[in-house]
Structure 1
Amino acid sequence: MKANVNQLTRAIDAVSPDVRLYVLYGPDEAGARDIANRLARALGPDAERVDLEPGQLKANPGLLADEAASLSLFGTARHIRIASAGEESVAACTLLLAAERSGNPVVVIAPGAKASSGLVKLATADPRAMVCAFYVPDAGEADKLATSIAREQGLRTTGSTAARIAAAAGGDRAVMSRELEKIALFLDAAPERPRELDDAALDAIGADLGDAEMSRAIEAAIDGGPDRLADELARLGVAGSSPIPLLRQLVRRLMTLAELRAEIDGGANANTIMERVFFRERAATTRALRIWSAPAISGAIDRVRRAERATMAPNNAGGVLADHAIVAVARLAARQAG
């Protein structure tokens, strides 16, 4: 059945036995992963998580139903996660929903799936499944999301604090959750003892990621200045900034360059195209378009996106992975610049 995020989280928090399968699809993969992690928390700290690859399910569709019906070796709760899923998982999910019994919930994260895909249609039509779309929120939606997450932590946002949190996190649900968890600990807040979240609290724990600092790091990477980039990354590290907003903003910048590069390669007049660019960014954009080719931009986007997924994964190297990917982009730019 189709669900919105509120319906989905209520079912997950209750660990509803009526739901065998959760399909989380859409481009906001970080938001989907954050909801998937919520299921793990709802099952308890001792819950066993089983990760299956889409390729495994394509080769053996019955594996998913078998794992969902299996008992944990340690007698604890158990759940199954499939990341980066697509149409190759439809047969396995079909068998799961048709199985006689299934004691362990399954979460499928499908960032590339559309509403018209077989996987989404399967989950929408079956009452034992819940399907929810995840899109990167715009500014207004991100502010509301920050307020909602804060409320769950026992925090009452005031003034512009919700907007600051949302902007600092780049609209990323997972980053907002982590930042607000830190703030709740700092203020000793909880749902049963709510606290007011004001600008002073944000300033005290450094929750502002600093758009200017991130912009300088991104420009250093795009321009091919690894030495300058190292200084900017060090500043962000000292400030305790999450790497996720930086990675996402870098991808957005590269995607903009990809669109402009495609138009120019297609024969459009470069001067006419540059008139659409914000005047303060024209010099940097012109310089970047001289450096970056279409294949190089595509490769850089793929690398940064893989770094974001790896950074969001459990037991990861965090900022090290992100810094390595961003520096790799700067080195690629430097090689192209000659």
Structure 2
Amino acid sequence: MKLTGAALQRFLAEPGGEGHAVLVFGPDAGLRREHIARLRKAVAGEPADPFSVSELTGAQIKDDPASLADEAASLTFGGGKRFVLVRDAGDAVTAIAKDFLDNGPGEAFVVVDGGDLPARSSLRKLFEGHKTAGAIACYHDDQRSLAGVVRDFFAEAGTGIEREAAEFLAAHLGGDRQLTRRELEKVLLFKGPGADPVTLEDVTLCVGDSALLGLEDLAMAAAGGDLPGLERGLGRCFLEGSNPVSLLRAVARHFQRLHQVAGAAAAGSSVEQAMKGLRPPVFWKAAAGFKAQAASWTAPALTAAMERLLEAEAACKRSGAPAESLAARALLEIAANAPGRRRRRA
């Protein structure tokens, strides 16, 4: 069965029930690790008893098909349920996993980390359709889901956060959940738990020069036709492990905001007035450049750029596609055709 929404949250808090095995998959490796850690804590406690936790790899159970059932049947010294994690699993172990699920996984709780499995994956279809198993999809956060992550993080820490500060973080954080939490922890450490609410000034001081705001620089370079700056930004982001889809979405958000300002200006507002209506507000360091871009880009050109970004994202998600190259090519094409670059060359 597919686990989503409230059912997923209940399962993460109290895993098991009728099912004793779950597949965790998707492109967001940080979110996969977060879910697996929550499941391990719920089953084996914190800190986990090392004698109640075991790990296998997909290669190990492929070489020894009985190893999964053997680990799941092993007893713990202190009693309680055993937690078994299978890493780097793929379609090569589907038949073994099916035999294991059909014959009953026993009392152990088994988590299979399948990595980024495509929709046609046989392992994914097995867990999504099996009556005694579950499947948890881990996709990159978009701005809407990030807003919830930000609010929940500070609520759990007992610290308030002002609306503009939360909107700024949601707009500038990347799609990888682990990197997001790292930046939120930085803000919390700076502010201190239980103190006054986190303000916009607090978050810009904490993350304004971070790698996450490097996404803002990347978007500004793409929309401004700054090819050298874009190439440097891409190199930095890929070196730091940024997901290509996250980069494309960050640039797409920038173009959406430009489109919003351009539309307001066409309706009679000034660019400055339209920019004041943006939420979150434009980062002050980028305000002058953003204003220039909003004045130079036309609505049809912005729409075409956003369509190109969507095409690149879809291409990146296809199995085997060189995602970094596809993302870089799309961004460089947009930058090469940016109106600001055409004027400079003229």
Place the TM-score, normalised by the shorter chain, in its bin: 0.5 to 0.7
Q: Deviations over 1:111-160 (max 9, x none)?
A: 33233322222212223222122222333333333333443444444223
Q: Is 2:85 the partner of 1:81? A: yes
1:197: which partner in 2? 198
The 5 A counterparts of 1:167-206 are 167-184=171-188, 189=193, 196-203=197-204, 205-206=206-207
Deviation at 1:257, TM superposition (A): 3.2
Gap change, CA 1:148 and 1:19, over 3 Å in 2: farther
Q: Counterparts of 1:220 and 1:93 in 2: how far apart (Å)?
A: 49
1:211: which partner in 2? 214
1:44: which partner in 2? 46
How large is the Cα RMSD of the aligned pairs?
A: 4.2
Q: Deviations over 1:176-235 (max 9, x none)?
A: 23333454455554xxx797333244356557623279749xx8898689xxx8xx89xx
2:287: which partner in 1? none
The 5 A counterparts of 1:141-160 are 141-160=145-164
- Paired amino acid for 2:132: R
- Paired amino acid for 1:199: L
104-113 or 153-162, which moves further after superposition?
153-162
Q: Counterparts of 1:50 and 1:17 in 2: how far apart (Å)?
A: 21
- Paired amino acid for 2:15: V
1:139: which partner in 2? 143
SS in 2 for 1:196: coil
The 5 A counterparts of 1:234-253 are 243-245=240-242, 249=247
Deviation at 1:57, TM superposition (A): 1.9
1:70: which partner in 2? 74
Q: Deviations over 1:258-286 (max 9, x none)?
A: 5699xxxxxxxxxxx6687445689xxxx
SS in 2 for 1:61: coil
Q: Deviations over 1:65-107 (max 9, x none)?
A: 2212223457676422223322112123223323445333222
Deviation at 1:244, TM superposition (A): 4.8
Q: Is 2:316 the partner of 1:257? A: no
1:9: which partner in 2? 9
Q: Is the 8 A contact 2:4 2:136 kept in 1?
A: yes
Gap change, CA 1:126 and 1:246, over 3 Å in 2: closer
In structure 2, runs of 5+ residues without a counterpart are: 222-226, 249-321
1:119: which partner in 2? 123
Look at both structures and tell me which one has the larger radius of gyration over its CA atoms: 2
Gap change, CA 1:103 and 1:166, over 3 Å in 2: farther
Q: Counterparts of 2:93 and 2:140 in 1: how far apart (Å)?
A: 24
Q: Counterparts of 1:278 and 1:102 in 2: how far apart (Å)?
A: 60
Q: Counterparts of 2:96 and 2:341 in 1: how far apart (Å)?
A: 48
1:22: which partner in 2? 22
TM-score between both structures, scaled by the size of structure 1: 0.59
Q: Is the 8 A contact 1:96 1:102 kept in 2?
A: no
TM-score between both structures, scaled by the size of structure 2: 0.58
In structure 1, runs of 5+ residues without a counterpart are: 234-241, 262-272, 283-338
Gap change, CA 1:221 and 1:279, over 3 Å in 2: closer
Gap change, CA 1:223 and 1:179, over 3 Å in 2: closer
Q: Is the 8 A contact 1:168 1:208 kept in 2?
A: no
Gap change, CA 1:89 and 1:140, over 3 Å in 2: same
- Paired amino acid for 2:326: M
Equivalenced residues, count: 255
Q: Counterparts of 1:11 and 1:115 in 2: how far apart (Å)?
A: 23
Q: Counterparts of 2:242 and 2:232 in 1: how far apart (Å)?
A: 20
Gap change, CA 1:223 and 1:71, over 3 Å in 2: same
Gap change, CA 1:69 and 1:130, over 3 Å in 2: same
Gap change, CA 1:165 and 1:81, over 3 Å in 2: farther
Q: Counterparts of 1:84 and 1:281 in 2: how far apart (Å)?
A: 45
Q: Is 2:101 the partner of 1:97? A: yes
Gap change, CA 1:148 and 1:281, over 3 Å in 2: farther
Q: Is the 8 A contact 1:80 1:105 kept in 2?
A: yes
SS in 2 for 1:160: helix
Gap change, CA 1:93 and 1:146, over 3 Å in 2: farther
Q: Is the 8 A contact 2:81 2:107 kept in 1?
A: no
Gap change, CA 1:259 and 1:202, over 3 Å in 2: closer
Q: Counterparts of 1:136 and 1:54 in 2: how far apart (Å)?
A: 24
Deviation at 1:255, TM superposition (A): 2.8
Gap change, CA 1:260 and 1:246, over 3 Å in 2: closer
Q: Deviations over 1:5-56 (max 9, x none)?
A: 5422321222334331121222223322221122233332124443321111
Q: Is the 8 A contact 1:166 1:172 kept in 2?
A: no
